[in-house]
């Protein structure tokens, strides 16, 4: 069997595009909410610091990251070949393979598998790709009872909230809120002790694993030469989901492949360290098809759903390297913007720097036209990324795409046209600088202007702006005159 990937723009769905996200207002609201800034800044800093501390434990951290980047680069260059090999191996192991061009198709496939199994209860381990296609909504709309079993996802499901981080989904929720939620929903006595709360959740979840008819997992990696799906968790819930129910569905994006099992340790070493500063994630499960004769446990049926949802379009574009992402979340933790506004301000499945690149690419530029600008280009994300994705450059290119596609506001276009004109003529540049200086002095106090008109008002709504210093050319001219005068005087 040969796997043929849809060619970009010819069958590959770019995913479900919705209304344009008003990122600027969402970000402004979040940035002025001290509670959000405090929660995210603290939790992101802790993970970022832990990553910085533990990465040097690798004998050659940078070389390991370069190796991981090279392996992923090679895989993406040969993705059709490795997908072909992977699918063949999974089928040899007795697994069923399904291809989904977009989220709607993947939801349909998984719903039909659940219907064929007459499933009543479906247990799920954490999967960002299932968030991407809103799988839970689709299954619940079809009448299935879906239970998230990752502690963070379980809490969010009870609270009916969305993840705010791709690794720690309830990064926005303090333990006191979880205590109130559990008291209300589980009928237990209020406690904000994390151990007590974890035990309460464990008591509920453990029984449900044994009642479930179907399990759904994502994939952290998929190994082409062995046909193996790899999931890593810290709670062991993924292992329960994949081994206890009679039917197992693995939903994965096609970019999750690595060519060989011998490369897996490179990624396992990097993933735990980059995500949470752990030496290695607590549980690593390798699943190669359904249970075989003599196996102690495992599903009787194994279904693999390979999702495109815009990925082949990205593969064929200049943004291919974004598909190297192993979803460690390190770029979110390092990003000063994410730390200030949190994950919900992005209104996207994937927030932070990687989300600002892939959200517009997987859905539409029109929906997420502001996200490429949610970056100060400080380079912290590139520094943190274990697979060396040059996110700042990708964001700059996406900004150009936003302008070319006509999604930028008129004020931007006029502003940059004026800037270009001024920068290409020394006369206009000097004139502009002089006028700008005069304008900035009007109404300023102690060298600071507190209010700008028009688009500039967005800036001064939250902070003051300094008045303009004397332009370099004027200072240079003055200096020249002084020197000439000194020379003339002898």
**Least separation in angstroms between CB 68 and ligand SF4:** 9
Do 342 and 172 contact (CB within 8 A), yes or no? yes
Q: For residue 445, give the DSSP letter.
A: B
Output the smallest distance, CB 357 to ligand SF4, in A. Answer: 8
The answer to whether 331 and 344 have CB atoms below 8 angstroms apart is no
Tokens read off for 329: 């979340």
Give CA–CA dist 61/55, Å, rounded. 6
Q: Measured in whole angstroms, how far is the alpha carbon of residue 201 from the centre of its chain?
A: 27
Q: How far is the CB of 329 from ligand SF4 (least distance, A)?
A: 5
Residues from 270 through 289 that contact ligand SF4 (CB under 6 A):
274
**DSSP string spanning 263-301?**
GHHHHHHHHHHHHHS-SS-SEEEEE-SS--TT-SS--SE
Whichever of 165 and 303 has its CB closer to ligand SF4, that residue is 165
Task: Pick the closer one to ligand SF4 by CB: 274 or 363.
Answer: 274
Q: Provide the strand spans (E) within 43-172.
A: 96-100, 121-124, 145-148
Look at the block and give the residue holding tokens 């400080």.
Answer: 378
Beta bridge partners of 147: 123
Q: Which stretch binds ligand SF4 (CB under 6 A): 137-145, 279-287, 381-389, 481-489?
A: 381-389
Nearest-approach distance from CB 58 to ligand SF4, in angstroms:
16
CB of 405 to ligand SF4, least distance (A): 24
Comparison of 396 and 438: residue with beta carbon closer to ligand SF4: 396
Interactions with ligand SF4, residue window 451-470 (CB under 6 A):
none
Cβ atoms of 241 and 123 within 8 Å: the answer is: yes
Q: How many residues bind ligand SF4 (CB under 6 A)?
A: 14
- Binding-residue pattern over the window 47 to 66 for ligand SF4, x denoting contact by CB under 6 A: --------------------
Q: Which of 386, 395, 398, 407 binds ligand SF4 (CB under 6 A)?
A: 386
Q: How far is CA 437 from CA 105, 441, 462, 474, in A?
A: 58, 6, 22, 12
Whether 128 and 292 have beta carbons less than 8 Å apart is answered as no
Q: Which of residues 315-354 bind ligand SF4 (CB under 6 A)?
A: 325-331, 354
Q: Name the residue nearer to ligand SF4 (CB basis): 234 or 274.
A: 274
Tokens for 288? Answer: 């190669």
Q: Which is nearer to ligand SF4, 325 or 369 (CB)?
A: 325
Q: Which helix (H) or strand (E) holds 421?
A: helix 410-423
User: Whole-number minimum distance, CB 383 to ligand SF4, in Å?
Assistant: 10
75 in Cβ contact with 267 (< 8 Å)? no
Least distance to ligand SF4 from the beta carbon of 177, Å?
26
Distance in Å, CB of 332 to ligand SF4, minimum? 7
Q: How far is the CB of 70 from ligand SF4 (least distance, A)?
A: 14
Cβ atoms of 370 and 23 within 8 Å: the answer is yes
Q: How far is the CB of 355 from ligand SF4 (least distance, A)?
A: 9
Shorter beta-carbon distance to ligand SF4: residue 242 or 333: 333
Q: Decide whether 249 or 395 has the Cβ nearer to ligand SF4.
A: 395
Nearer to ligand SF4, 90 or 380 (CB): 380
Please tell me what DSSP assigns to residue 425: -
Shortest reach from residue 330's CB to ligand SF4, in Å: 4
The residue among 138 and 385 lying less far from ligand SF4, judged by its C-beta, is 385
Contact (CB, 8 A) for 87 and 310: no
- The residue (of 170 and 354) whose beta carbon lies closer to ligand SF4 is 354
Does 385 sit near ligand SF4 (CB under 6 A)?
yes
Task: Answer yes or no: are the C-beta atoms of 120 and 248 closer than 8 Å.
Answer: no
Query: CB of 121 within 8 A of CB of 208?
Result: yes
Which listed residue (384, 395, 398, 440) binds ligand SF4 by CB under 6 A?
384
- The CA–CA distances, whole Å, from 169 to 10, 151, 155, 162 equal 34, 9, 9, 8
Which is nearer to ligand SF4, 167 or 365 (by Cβ)?
167
Tokens 């028009």 — which residue?
A: 454
Residues that bind ligand SF4 in the complex, under the rule CB under 6 A:
274, 325-331, 354, 384-387, 389
């Amino acid at each position: 069997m040969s796997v043929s990937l849809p060619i970009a723009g010819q069958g590959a769905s770019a995913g479900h595009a919705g209304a344009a996200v008003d990122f600027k207002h969402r970000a402004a609201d979040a940035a002025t909410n001290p509670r959000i800034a405090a929660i995210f800044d603290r939790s992101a800093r802790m993970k970022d610091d832990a990553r910085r501390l533990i990465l040097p434990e690798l004998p050659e951290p940078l070389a390991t990251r370069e190796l991981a980047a090279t392996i992923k680069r090679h895989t993406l260059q040969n993705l059709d070949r490795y997908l072909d090999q992977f699918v063949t191996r999974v089928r040899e192991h007795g697994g069923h393979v399904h291809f989904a061009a977009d989220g709607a198709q993947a939801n349909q496939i998984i719903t039909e598998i659940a219907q064929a199994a007459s499933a009543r209860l479906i247990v799920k381990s954490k999967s960002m790709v299932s968030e991407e296609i809103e799988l839970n909504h689709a299954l619940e709309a079809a009448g299935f009872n879906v239970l998230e079993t990752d502690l963070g996802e379980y809490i969010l499901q009870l609270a009916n909230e969305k993840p705010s981080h791709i690794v720690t989904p309830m990064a926005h929720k303090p333990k006191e809120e979880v205590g109130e939620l559990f008291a209300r929903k589980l009928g237990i006595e209020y406690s904000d002790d994390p151990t007590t709360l974890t035990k309460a959740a464990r008591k509920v979840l453990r029984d449900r694993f044994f009642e479930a008819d179907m399990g759904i997992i994502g994939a952290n990696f998929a190994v082409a030469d062995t046909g193996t799906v790899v999931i890593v968790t810290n709670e062991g819930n993924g292992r329960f989901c994949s081994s206890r129910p009679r039917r197992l569905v693995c939903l994965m994006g096609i970019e999750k492949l690595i060519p060989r099992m011998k490369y897996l340790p490179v990624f396992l070493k990097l993933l735990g360290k980059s995500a949470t500063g752990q030496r290695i994630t607590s549980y690593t499960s390798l699943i190669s098809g359904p249970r075989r004769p003599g196996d102690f446990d495992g599903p009787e049926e194994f279904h693999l759903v390979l999702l495109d949802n815009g990925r082949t379009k990205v593969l064929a574009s200049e943004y291919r390297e974004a598909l190297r992402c192993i979803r460690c979340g390190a770029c979110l933790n390092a990003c000063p913007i994410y730390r200030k506004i949190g994950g919900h301000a992005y209104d996207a499945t994937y927030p932070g720097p990687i989300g600002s690149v892939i959200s517009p690419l997987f859905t539409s530029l029109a929906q997420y036209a502001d996200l490429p600008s949610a970056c100060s280009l400080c380079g912290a994300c590139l520094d943190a990324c274990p697979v060396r994705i040059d996110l700042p450059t990708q964001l700059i290119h996406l900004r150009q795409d936003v302008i070319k596609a006509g999604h930028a506001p008129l004020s931007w276009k006029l502003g940059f046209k004026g800037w270009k004109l001024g920068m290409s003529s020394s006369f206009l540049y000097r004139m502009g600088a002089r006028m700008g200086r005069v304008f900035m002095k009007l109404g300023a106090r102690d060298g600071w202007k507190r209010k700008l008109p028009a688009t500039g008002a967005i800036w001064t709504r939250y902070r003051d702006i300094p008045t303009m210093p004397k332009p370099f050319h004027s200072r240079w001219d003055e200096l020249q005159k002084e020197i000439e005068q000194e020379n003339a005087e002898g």
